[in-house]
Each structure stands twice: as structure tokens, then as C-alpha cells.
Structure 1
Amino acid sequence: MADTTGTATPDLAVENGEDGVRRRDFINIAAVGAAGVGGVFVVIPLISQMAPSQDVLAESSTEVDISAIEPGQAIKAIFRKQPLFVRRLTDAEMGEANSVATGSLRDAESLDDRTKEGHRDILVTMGVCTHLGCVPLGAADGENKGEYGGYFCPCHGSHYDTAGRIRKGPAPTNLLVPDYEFSSDTVIQVG
């Protein structure tokens, strides 16, 4: 209240904000701070539940032991729920693949583009035809390897050579080479 001289009393001066923070300002700051802390406790579980689960993380990479693969043989493995072909090429298969002019191929890649330095005899490809996603034959003994000695897709007749390159049929591109590294001379880490 104002006294008779027209000056404000000390209680009124604090209420009008003349001497520092008002009680209402403190309550507003406290409420915003509490809402911020509460928001963090809501957002963290929301974000963490969007992270991949442990089984998905486990499938994001695959180790393949290639020590038992003899030259000319291939094995099938699974990578991200899809077939993975690992083939150890013979000298004749590598020579045949290298003798093809890359300019004559639909999807021009050399064997060196599709293999790793120091391990040119190991070809790692996804076992999925690039036409409509069928699984080509040729990785197991006795299977039809197609006209070029690599892989043959029985669904629509795509023929791949020993380097997994499309040579005949409706497939638009070569068999996909996934990201992989040699963790040792006999183990490949895919993914």
C-alpha cells in the first residue's frame, strides 16, 4: 500500500518487481525447469526404444570361415536373412574372368573390382538374383552353373559368370558384393 507521502511500502516494492525477482517469476522458472526434466524422462525412453534390438544387431554382421573351401568350390551362408555365396576360384576360372573385356559386359566390373587385394581367388556375393530376387543355382556341387560356369537363376534364366557378373538373361546388374573384410587369412567378416 502507498503511504500518505506517495512512496511505496517495502512489501509493495517487492511485489511490483522493483527490488529483484518476484515470487511469480520464481514459480514460473521452477515450473519450466520441472517440465524440462520431465520432458527428458519422456524423450529418452522414446528414443531408446527406436534403437535396433540385440537380435537385429547380431544379424548385422556375419563371420564366415573359408578355410575348408577348396579351389572350385563354393559355400552358402546367411547374411541379414539372405543367402551369401563364397567361392574360391581356380586359376582357370580367374583367367576366364580376366579374359573378358569389361566393355562388353552389361554391368562392367573386372574380377579385381569384385575381390580383395591379396585374396583375388575368393569371391563373396549375395546369393540373390538382381532381376526379381530368386536364389541362383551354382553354389552347391552338381547344381546348374549356367552357360558361363558361375551361377544360373532358374526363375527367369539369368546366367552369371565365375566372377558373378551378368552375362545373359533379364538381370540388370551383377550379383551384389557386400561390404566385407578379411579378419584373418581364413575368416571373413561380412557387414
Structure 2
Amino acid sequence: MAEQVTMNQDGTAAVESDGVRRRDFINIAAVSFAGVGGASVLIPLITQMAPSKDVLAQASTEVDVSAVQPGQAIKTVWRKQPMFIRNLTPEEISAADKVDVASLRDPQSLADRTLPGKTNWLVTLGVCTHLGCVPLGAAAGEVKGEFGGYFCPCHGSHYDTAARIRKGPAPKNLEVPEYEFLSDTVIKIG
């Protein structure tokens, strides 16, 4: 180690080495102590923001669709919001595919709104994109609107069988959440 001689204020000589000095050790210890203190404050703060178990339980839901016949729709609930699951008939699929997507307010094809190989299953959030009302058309006997899909009674939005907005004040199609098929008859939403 190289040593350096310096003069103190009182005129005496002091020897300093290039190695770790006592002041360096105190600085390292103080920064380490502050880091541990900061972590002990931040960890509980961050973990308290994590979702509770009841919220995590609602993060996804599984729906058995084995009893839903072609042309029928069912209502279910996911995250306290209504969900529509519709089993489209070949005629409804054909009619949805014939629509010029460029002419739609929110241009999406049926293939954009369904999973590959499962184009007969349409899963949408049952909330009108205008002001959040629940459209009619999922239950038997309900008004389905001019395009055979859904009708929002609050302000008159009409959706087609692919749940795309066709008439009325709603700006967008009914939202399609993330979903997957766990089997041929069970859908996991979320």
C-alpha cells in the first residue's frame, strides 16, 4: 500500500493510506442501513396494493356451454359484469361474414372477434359501449334489434349477431374479453 503524508491543521503530520479509511466504512454502513430501512418501508407498501383473495377468485371464470344450442345465447357474470356467450348458427356466421367490414363504425370481422376453429362461439361483455347499459337479446324472447343480435333499450343501439355496432349512439362493438377453451364444452374467461 502506498502511504501519503499530509499536514493536519495543528501542524502535525498525518499518514493516510490508499486503502479503506474509517470514514469510507462509516459511509458504506450508513448507505446500507438506509437501503435496508427503505426496503422495510417499501415492501409492506407494495404488498398491500396486491389484489385480495376474493378479487383473485373473480379474475377468471369457467363456463360450461354444453347445453347451449346453436342460435342460443346465455348470460353469465365475470368480474361483476354481465357476459354474453352465443352459439352462432351457420346462417348467422354467413350473414356476419357477408357484412362489408369497412362500412362498420368499429371495423371488425367475425374472425377478429372469435377464436380460430371456434367461430360459432362468440363471447362478449354484456355492457353497451355507449353509457354502460345491459343490452337485450341474450335471453329467449328478448328484443334482438334490427340486425338480430343485441338491442340496448337505454338509447337504441343495435348490434348484429357478431355483437358489432350497426345503428345507434354506441361508438364501439361489444367488448370481447380474453378467453380460451379448456375443452370442447368449457370456456375460461379472464
Which TM-score applies when normalising by structure 2? Answer: 0.84
Using the alignment, how far apart are the partners of 1:94 and 1:36 within structure 2? 61
Aligned-partner residue type, residue 146 of structure 1: G
CA apart distance, 1:116? 1.0
Relative distance call for 1:155 and 1:24 in structure 2 (3 A) is: same
Q: Which moved more, 1:81-90 or 1:20-29?
A: 20-29
CA distance in 2, matches of 1:106, 1:26: 68
Distance in 2 between the 1:135 and 1:184 partners?
Answer: 29
Separation (CA, whole Å) in 2 of partners of 1:71 and 1:62: 22
1:133 Cα offset (Å)? 0.8
The whole-number CA distance in structure 1 between the counterparts of 2:167 and 2:146 is 9
- 1:153 is aligned to 2:152: yes
Map residues 29-48 of structure 1 onto 2, 5 A cutoff. 29-48=28-47
Deviation at 1:80, TM superposition (A): 1.8
CA distance change for structure 1 residues 69 and 28 in 2, over 3 Å: closer, same or farther? same
Between the aligned partners of 1:107 and 1:42, the Cα distance in structure 2 is 47
- Distance in 2 of aligned mates of 1:190 and 1:170: 28
CA–CA distance in 1 between the matches of 2:60 and 2:45? 26
What residue in structure 2 maps to residue 176 of structure 1?
175
1:49 equivalent in alignment to 2:48: yes
Q: How does 1:81-120 map to 2 (within 5 A)?
A: 81-120=80-119
Task: Note the C-alpha offset of 1:66.
Answer: 1.1
Which residue of structure 2 aligns with residue 167 of structure 1?
A: 166
Cα distance in structure 1, aligned partners of 2:24 and 2:115: 67
Shift of 1:29: 3.7
- Letter of the 1:190 partner, please give it: I
Q: Which runs of 5+ in 1 are unaligned?
A: 1-7
Larger Rg computed on CA atoms:
1
The match for 1:5 is none
Residues 15-42 of structure 1: CA deviation (Å, up to 9, x unaligned)? 8655965555544443433332222222
**Aligned length in residues:** 180
CA 1:27 to 1:96, structure 2 compared with 1: closer, same or farther past 3 Å?
closer
Q: 1:29 to 1:94 in 2, by over 3 A?
A: closer
Distance of 1:82 and 1:180 partners within structure 2 = 15
Distance of aligned partners of 1:107 and 1:28 in 2 relative to their CA distance in 1, 3 Å threshold: closer
Relative to structure 2, which stretch is displaced further, 168-177 or 38-47? 38-47
1:109 and 1:20 mapped to 2: Cα distance? 69
Runs of at least 4 residues of structure 1 off by over 6 A?
A: none
Calculate the aligned-residue CA RMSD, in Å. Answer: 2.2
DSSP 3-state at the match of 1:40: helix
Distance (Å, rounded) in 1 between the aligned partners of 2:72 and 2:46 = 46
* Residue 4 (structure 1) aligns with: none
Unaligned runs of at least 5 residues, structure 2: 1-7
